[in-house]
Amino acid sequence: MVLPTALVTGGAARIGAKIAEAFAADGWHVVIHYRGSDDEAGALADRLPSAEIVHCDLADGDAAVAMVRQLADRLQDWRVLVNNASIFPYDSATDLDSEINKLAMQINAETPARMSQVFLAHARAKAGKRVIHITDQKLENPNPDFFSYTMSKHALAATIPMLAELREEGGAAGPEDHVYGLAPGAILASHDQSEEEIEISHRLNPLKRKTGPDEVAAAALMLAKGLLRSGETIFVDSGQHLLDQKRDVIWLARAMAAAK
């Protein structure tokens, strides 16, 4: 029996691994993309019922496109591409770092957009294909921190409605294909956060609760079913995107912890 396949970029660790695990538990064959997490990717694939690993540096857009073409030629029922991999280096609205910006825009926006185009055009699927871009709640709640990262996520988000229109314009996407955004909030530890800072920052949302990576994974699995209109983005952040946070929660939590 041929299982439906999902490719998860950055699928060896953190939220990507949770997404891979969720698809595997639901009966999918999972392709785990990784760049530097060789051991983690292999160990995760060994734990899952049906999985394989694929290596590619998404800073090389041509290599990423070639990877997608090779998978499209080989996989018999490739239904989902989850563009989860991204980099999160720091620069600010007062000091854009050109090298950080170029790399963030490449890995977080340009390469996943190109991969999506090739996937929609060439993958074989027994049901409609799904592209799921992992974006960020910063789309609705921006602040001056992580400037290039935030720029890149806005750029990626802009491709969602454009790619969704392909099926209306006779493009590569078929009538059953859907393109979605999934925007998490503060989920896992970032940079040099202490345990106290993590506990505070992850509750800086209207529900004052920690959003789990399993919730993001469940949302990705739901989107894979194509129940929403193509072009939609859902937020999994306990309402964080509804706030007006003047700085990234890393620094908000650090200030709150220091004030105790």
Give whole-number Cα distances, 176 to 6, 23, 48, 191, in Å: 16, 20, 28, 40
What confidence score (pLDDT) does residue 166 get? 76
What's the predicted TM-score (pTM) here? 0.95
Fold of the CATH domain 5-258: Rossmann fold (3.40.50)
pLDDT tens digits along 144-161 = 999 999 999 999 999 999
What's the mean pLDDT in 40-63? 98
Give whole-number Cα distances, 56 to 62, 222, 235, in Å: 10, 27, 28
Residue 74 near residue 117, CB atoms below 8 Å? no
Residue 45 near residue 51, CB atoms below 8 Å? yes
Amino acid identity of 65?
A: V
What confidence score (pLDDT) does residue 193 get? 80
pLDDT tens digits along 65-121 = 999 999 999 999 999 999 999 999 999 999 999 999 999 999 999 999 999 999 999
Residue 15 near residue 21, CB atoms below 8 Å? no
What integer best gives the mean pLDDT of the chain? 94
Q: Which residue from 154, 161, 182 is spatially nearest to 18, judged by alpha carbons?
A: 182
